[in-house]
Structure 1
Amino acid sequence: MKSDVAPQRLAAQPAAGASEVFQLLRDGQPRTRAELAQLTGLARSTVTARVDALMRVGLIAPVGGATSTGGRPPSLFALNPAARLVVGADLGATHALVVVADLSGAVLAEERAELSIASGPDSVLGWLCDAVARLLQEAGRSAADLGAIGIGLPGPVEHDTGRPINPPIMPGWDRVDVPGLVQQHFKVPVLVDNDVNIMALGEQAMAWPETADLMLIKVATGIGAGIISSGQLQRGAQGTAGDLGHVRVPRGDGVACRCGNTGCLEALAGGPALAAALSADGKKANSSQDVIDLVRSGDLQAIQAVRQAGRDIGDVLATCVNLVNPSVIVVGGRLAQAGEHLLAGIREVVYRRSLPLATEHLRIAPSVAGQRAGVLGAVSLAIGHVLSPEAIEAAASA
């Protein structure tokens, strides 16, 4: 179920046939047959045959003519974004957002619902499939136009199978065949990943498209990271890479975590942990949103608690910076709405404790995509599959 194919990977493993030409047109920049022949080193007749094959399946289209040097102007070709549609779905703990987009990532229609993931896979995925049908109709297209569906879930996912594995807030979902259930309604590839990974893809696509080394830190009920290294999303052997919430932090001795251990980052800096600490001190704080509201109202105690949470997160991220060496760390999730106080605590420790060379050009920035990072990442996941060299070869050959 490989889905996100990095540009660096494509360059290292060029595919034979039409996909080699297509990857040069994928960026949307129009090119002539002569330019494609020059860039690929292929014969003009070979390029013409491959351009014709890509046009037959609709993946590229003529976009006018180039400047003539005498005679008929040469034709220009580029990606045809409308050739296929993809679906991106961000299924959170208490919300669901699904969109239909074209191959450029432009959203054509969307639907949002307040939906509990604890309702179970039949209820949630049933709503998802019904929503996709409605959105296709709204966009004036049909299921035959779909190329792939990307889904983000709020729990650990075995990426090769798309099955959630022991998800703590998803009762009834353990090892459920999510792709299989969706494919009962739509006969297309279904790619499933955890919410932090797709947030990283969405943030990269929207705000940092030229950045090959990026970490997205989600700070909410739990704390996790999506890691993109050398242009490739890093999932690890079982798909659990980036689970920062259960890394032990120096200040956590004796603090119990829901995982059964003590001293975990989540138990000190997660939204519920901050709310509980402020509530114990007499503040009206029962949720992450209450913490954010207190910070925004200028409550000094809440500001200090969020700043300290940033320092605790920075303790873990300093090690990550030395180990992975990202050029950008993006901070998102519910608690990121507390603003610069969280970022200030993170920056304070990361820049002090990481190696100078690793932080020389490091940027620690708030999320740009915000609450849409997940669904945009799911779209990116699906587009990556539809436009992969393997998929292009299969379409052109067919």
Structure 2
Amino acid sequence: MTRPVGGSPVVGLDLGGTKIAAALFAADGTVSSRHTRPTPAGEGPSAVLDALAGAAAEVDPEGHATAIGVAAAGVVDPRSGTVTSATDSIRGWAGTALGAGLADRTGLPVACDNDVRATAGPELAALPDRRGSLLFAAVGTGVGGALAVDGRMLHGASGIAGHLGHLPSAEAAGLPCTCGATGHLEVIASGPGITAHYERLTGTPVDRLETVAARAAGGDAAAVRAVTTGAEAAGRVLGGLANALGPDRVVVGGGVPRIGPLYGDALARAFAAELMPPLRGLAPEPPRFGHDAAVTGAAALTTTLPLHHPGALR
């Protein structure tokens, strides 16, 4: 549960490529109103910022909020409030002045961060030790992540920290990545990566990951191989990162782990095989928080990150 700035209401916004979710958090941290709307992803950054402002106004029509937190798709630098890199899921999103642009539209200070880091925030806050460490992975259409060490979320230069999908993976050797490099984890472990691997193995097009998962459940050897290869690749990368970071908890969320135990078991085995002796017994776990995690984490950003104020662009 968030603790808004000064005990005042705040708005949390979760911006994805297809929809915007908004919630108004009261002074005690409870949600007092909600709203969702489509993301105008093909209309450019100004339209997206207008939609974010509209969603904030929808949940707070009387203007009680004192700040806005935004969890946004793309690589977000919370210090500058800028989207430093992005895919084409939102047209022209890279380079957008997210913090200042939204502050100008709403008249409120804005804190912003990458959506996966914001989603991981409640997981970090739930650790019993305020100086706990967390490794968080989100495996879906892409592979994102968040890293927190000794109670502090890592952001890194340009907000790049935590983008686990662009770590090298032996299973992805030679495969082109959306970032322009080759051999990155995302192209073998994401939903589209697993689907593409099945197509390479069989020469048969498939429409989506769930089709591959269903065929694997029915004993299709190529489908089993595609799913387990992606899972093992993710497990090995996460195990290596665990050795480097020493997390108290490892969380694996996103849509891909929900396809069933074939994926989860293969990931867990590969993860365990990488661990150094002091970490043996550490195992990946599902997220503790549900669909509210992103907006809750977004609202909490207003207490932990720099606030971008109206007028900064003028």
Structure 1-normalised TM-score?
0.69
Tell me, yes or no, if structure 1 residue 125 matches structure 2 residue 49. yes
Tell me, yes or no, if structure 1 residue 237 matches structure 2 residue 189. no
CA distance in 2: counterparts of 1:150 and 1:293, whole angstroms: 39
Please state how far the C-alpha of 1:296 moved relative to its aligned partner. Answer: 6.8
What residue identity is the alignment partner of 1:105?
G
What residue identity is the alignment partner of 1:127?
A
Please state how far the C-alpha of 1:160 moved relative to its aligned partner. Answer: 0.8
**1:336 to 1:103, Cα distance in 2 relative to 1, 3 A:** farther
User: Which deviations, in whole Å up to 9, do the C-alpha atoms of 1:163-194 show, x marking residues without a partner?
Assistant: 10131233222222212222223222201111
Please state how far the C-alpha of 1:291 moved relative to its aligned partner. Answer: 4.3
Residue in structure 2 matched with residue 111 of structure 1 by the alignment? 35
Tell me, yes or no, if structure 1 residue 349 matches structure 2 residue 270. yes
Question: 99, 110, 124: which is aligned to 1:179?
Answer: 99
Tell me, yes or no, if structure 1 residue 165 matches structure 2 residue 89. no
CA distance in 2: counterparts of 1:209 and 1:85, whole angstroms: 26
**1:299 to 1:332, Cα distance in 2 relative to 1, 3 A:** farther
Question: 68, 75, 78: which is aligned to 1:156?
Answer: 75
Tell me, yes or no, if structure 1 residue 247 matches structure 2 residue 167. yes
CA-atom RMSD in angstroms: 2.8
Residue in structure 1 matched with residue 21 of structure 2 by the alignment? 97
Please state how far the C-alpha of 1:263 moved relative to its aligned partner. Answer: 1.4
Residue in structure 1 matched with residue 310 of structure 2 by the alignment? none
CA distance in 2: counterparts of 1:154 and 1:316, whole angstroms: 23
User: Which deviations, in whole Å up to 9, do the C-alpha atoms of 1:175-220 show, x marking residues without a partner?
Assistant: 2221222222322220111111111113344x54657211110111
Tell me, yes or no, if structure 1 residue 367 matches structure 2 residue 287. yes
What residue identity is the alignment partner of 1:276?
A
Q: Is the 8 A contact 1:89 1:152 kept in 2?
A: yes
CA distance in 2: counterparts of 1:252 and 1:385, whole angstroms: 35
What residue identity is the alignment partner of 1:189?
P
- Higher relative contact order structure (alpha carbons within 8 Å, sequence separation ≥ 6): 2
Larger mean Cα displacement after TM superposition, 113-122 or 240-249: 113-122
CA distance in 1: counterparts of 2:136 and 2:27, whole angstroms: 24
Residue in structure 2 matched with residue 146 of structure 1 by the alignment? 65
Q: Is the 8 A contact 1:103 1:383 kept in 2?
A: no
- SS of residue in 2 equivalent to 1:171: coil
**1:370 to 1:156, Cα distance in 2 relative to 1, 3 A:** same
CA distance in 2: counterparts of 1:328 and 1:210, whole angstroms: 11
Q: Is the 8 A contact 1:88 1:382 kept in 2?
A: no
Equivalenced residue count is 303
Please state how far the C-alpha of 1:222 moved relative to its aligned partner. Answer: 1.6
What residue identity is the alignment partner of 1:356?
P
User: Which deviations, in whole Å up to 9, do the C-alpha atoms of 1:301-321 show, x marking residues without a partner?
Assistant: 434422221110112112111
Q: Is the 8 A contact 1:97 1:113 kept in 2?
A: yes
Q: Is the 8 A contact 1:148 1:383 kept in 2?
A: no
What does 1:1-12 correspond to in 2, within 5 Å? none
Larger mean Cα displacement after TM superposition, 238-247 or 303-312: 303-312
Q: Is the 8 A contact 1:203 1:368 kept in 2?
A: yes
Please state how far the C-alpha of 1:285 moved relative to its aligned partner. Answer: 2.7
CA distance in 2: counterparts of 1:261 and 1:375, whole angstroms: 32
Please state how far the C-alpha of 1:343 moved relative to its aligned partner. Answer: 2.4
User: Which deviations, in whole Å up to 9, do the C-alpha atoms of 1:59-113 show, x marking residues without a partner?
Assistant: 6xxxxxxxxxxxxxxxxxxxxxxx4111111111112111111244321111122
Residue in structure 2 matched with residue 263 of structure 1 by the alignment? 183
Residue in structure 2 matched with residue 188 of structure 1 by the alignment? 108
CA distance in 2: counterparts of 1:107 and 1:297, whole angstroms: 43
CA distance in 2: counterparts of 1:337 and 1:277, whole angstroms: 19
Q: Is the 8 A contact 1:90 1:374 kept in 2?
A: yes
What residue identity is the alignment partner of 2:11?
V
Q: Is the 8 A contact 2:13 2:56 kept in 1?
A: no
- SS of residue in 2 equivalent to 1:133: helix
CA distance in 2: counterparts of 1:382 and 1:295, whole angstroms: 44
Larger mean Cα displacement after TM superposition, 266-275 or 247-256: 247-256
Residue in structure 2 matched with residue 66 of structure 1 by the alignment? none
CA distance in 1: counterparts of 2:191 and 2:139, whole angstroms: 8
Unaligned runs of 5+ in 1: 5-25, 27-57, 60-82, 389-398
More helix by share: 1
Please state how far the C-alpha of 1:259 moved relative to its aligned partner. Answer: 2.2
- SS of residue in 2 equivalent to 1:99: strand
What does 1:173-322 correspond to in 2, within 5 Å? 173-205=93-125, 208=127, 210=129, 212-280=132-200, 281=202, 285-291=206-212, 301-322=222-243
Bigger Cα Rg: 1
**1:279 to 1:128, Cα distance in 2 relative to 1, 3 A:** same
Structure 2-normalised TM-score?
0.86
